[in-house]
Amino acid sequence: MLPSVSTSDQLDELMTCRLDSGRKAVEPCSIIIFGASGDLTARKLIPAFYHLFKEKQMPAAFRIVGFARREKTDESWRAELREALGRFSRTQPVDDKAWQAFAGSLSYCRGDLTEPEAYRALKDKLESFEDAALRRNLLFYLAISPSQFGAVVEQVHRAGLLQRDGDSGWQRLVVEKPFGHDLASAHALNSELTRFAHEQQVFRIDHYLGKETVQNILMFRFSNSIFERLWNRESVDHIQITVSEKQGVGGRGGYYEEAGALRDMVQNHLLQVLALVAMEPPVSLEAESIRDEKVKLLKSIRPLAPEDVTRQVVRGQYFAGVVDGQPQPGYRQETKVKPDSNVETYVALKLFIDNWRWSGVPFYLRTGKCLPLGASEVRIQFRPTPHVLFAAACGARLDPNALTLRLQPNEGIYLRFNGKVPGMSLGVRPVRMHFSYDSEFGAYTPEAYERLLLEAVAGDATLFIRRDEVETAWQIVDSIRNGWEGKALTNREFYAAGTWGPIAAEELLAAGGHAWRDPQPLQ
């Protein structure tokens, strides 16, 4: 019998099931950032560590050592980071008292990534720390180009700082994407990383997996029986996953010419969301159990032969248009873009998952630049009602039920169903039940990097990508690129900036009797 409570807050506390009681503890450690002078360190990493410290989430003792080629002192590096924090912190103004306490743990080590002497100097600095745990528990963050990963890992190993089978303490590698540019390069990169470290020591970071609502997909699915019972081919007609971006490529034209939307977004973000939405229940909440199911799902995606790519994949490229009332140049007019570029800024796919749960259910994925709204969401469209009673009378105007998981912005969950319009006549109209994270919980949502960095320090790999997961995703992407080989964009694959994509993408869904449901601005 529940004890009596006097306030709704107390009731909420009683009804809250704490799942983090068995969470791995964060131990004292040293965090070494290679690429400490770079934009990622200033914009994301140091603000994330600062907020974790301020929220008392960091270990009782820790050190952050920046490693870069430029000549700096501890004081000058701290001053640079303090200035950057004033621009990039999610809370303003910066708490100077908290910053001063945090800054005491920051130090700088100058060195060239290719010089063995620099790594010996780094080792000397680490060995100067009084706490033994700060010398043996080491987290190496590679905020550098992937082409430098192998050399840095080898040098760290040769300096005696990274061991595959250490007697005491732990060492971990956190690496940023991109994880290669195709299957062969991803395999080579993974082989380089695991020459001197176990796979369990490698944490491949994708900031998208740190978002609150991406993680909530698993919670929503597997803790609510009313929805999990419907999560299969018997009830679901099709599923749409949209990751739209309002901005163009801007100053990233050079990078985009090499990557394109397929490599930049589909290989990681969209396939990750697909895996979470469609995977089978894991046997436990342990990291490897969850990652096993994600890999099994990706391996269940029906392979795409070149002729399948023609039927099931659409690419697009934006030309000049208007976004939010402002003129937007076409992709071919962007900086560092070839005037006759064939690179895609938009991709739409129709995929099938060949397993018992999802047999015959199409999954539609799309992402693009210069679309009308920046949003990420998953829409589960349920099967229409039988063509009798209201469906017979209303026809296509009777909208099928749908469940939408809004990942960003305005994170929430929306259930769409049909209701009677008030009045004397019998009118039916789609209505929506709306759950908003901000309205319900009112608590701060940590930045994705905060959550991911904390998990890396704790050694929890749940939100990080395993080697076989990376390589399976690249197999899917490579098959699409092979189908595009030697083919130029057609007129039906161009779209005006500020629109929802090319007409070929509309035709992709129309062929199956479906239509895109575009994300809507939400308040």
Q: Which of the two residues, 167 and 505, has the higher pLDDT score?
A: 505
Domain 210-510 has CATH 3.40.50.300: no
* Sign of the alpha-carbon dihedral angle for 18, 21, 23, 29: positive
**Domain locations in the chain as residue ranges:** 29-176, 210-510
Rounded CA separation 490/317 (Å): 10
Question: Would you state the pLDDT for residue 2?
Answer: 41
Mean pLDDT (the chain) is 87
pLDDT of residue 423: 67
Residue percentage of the chain with pLDDT more than 90:
63
For residues 465-495, b (16+ Cβ closer than 10 Å) or e, as one string? bbbbbbbbbbbbbbbbeebbeeeebeeebbb
With beta carbons less than 8 A apart as the criterion, state whether 506 and 230 touch. Answer: no
169 pLDDT higher than 60: yes
pLDDT above 80: residue 397 = no
Closest CA relative to residue 477, chosen from 269, 318, 279, 276: 269
pLDDT digits (tens, 9 = 90+) for 82-134: 999 989 888 888 888 999 999 999 999 999 999 999 999 999 999 999 899 99
Average pLDDT over residues 250-263: 89
pLDDT tier for residue 448 given thresholds of 50, 70 and 90: confident
Just list the catalytic residues.
269
pTM: 0.88
CA 181 distance to own-chain centroid: 17
Q: What fold is seen in the domain 29-176?
A: Rossmann fold (3.40.50)
Is 516 a residue whose pLDDT tops 90?
yes
Which pLDDT value is given to residue 398? 61
